[in-house]
Amino acid sequence: MKYLVFVSFALFLMVLTMQAQQFVNKGSIEFEVITNVKKTMGTESYLEDLKATMPTFKIAYYSLTFANNKSVYKFDHYDEKKAKVPEYFREGEDENNWYNDFNLGETVIQKSQWGSLFNLKDSIKTIHWKITNESRLIAGFNCRKAVGIIMDSVYVFAFYTDEITTSGGPCSINGLPGMIMGVTIPRLYVSMMATKLNVTDVNESSIKPTSAKKYYTSKELDATVDKKIKDWSANSEPNEDFKNTMNQLRWNIQL
């Protein structure tokens, strides 16, 4: 009899817990994106005077709108009160756009680079994740840590919540069992952290890909970037600082 009472009570608590947990399938998340711009510039001595005139960090805010297992991530505004961003570090950022259709497994990305727009259409990238036992609270959600590798060698540290059912995240970071609410990429000197979630008046019509006359695949875009880098280094032997800067450029345009 005591055993039946115990089991009944346990089932009752389980039902209460399931009812209390709210799963979110559409909304808009604000991300604070902090980039250490001085470190992205490398260590060449001739850049030190320029670094002295600029803030250490660029602080931008992006929105990730999601519904029906689709999402779009794009620039919203800078925090000019915390850090005044020089014009040459902000040009074209408001044209960057990441669209993901997780039903079809398709991504459409628009990136501004070298004064031109590059439009990529391809399958959503697969990231191999290792989920850890570490957790933290982000924007009111209990999030679990995972470690992944993108572009063969770049480590990504992410925190996700399974209370938001879309398996997306900022930029092209995806593939965890829930929404990614925080990302740190040390080799790109950038962090992206959710600050708040809005689930009312979600503009679902904004979740759409950019249109373009020409689309690149990931391989074609890689080849284009490689050619540009070879052109820049044709007349000199690239040093380690140049190689690191070019790697960051390559990773950023494919992120």
Using one digit for the tens of pLDDT, what is the confidence trace for 79-90?
A: 877 777 777 677
Q: Write down the pLDDT at residue 21.
A: 54
Give 1-36 pLDDT, tens digit per residue.
444 444 444 443 343 343 345 789 999 999 999 999
Is-contact 102 166, C-beta < 8 A? yes
- Residue ranges of domains in the chain: 19-216
Give 163-195 pLDDT, tens digit per residue.
999 999 999 999 999 999 999 999 999 999 999
Q: Write down the pLDDT at residue 214.
A: 92
62: left (phi over 0), alpha (psi -120 to 50) or beta: beta
What are the φ and ψ backbone dihedral angles of 59, each rounded to 5 degrees? Answer: -115, 115
Which CATH architecture is the domain 19-216 placed in?
Clam (2.50)
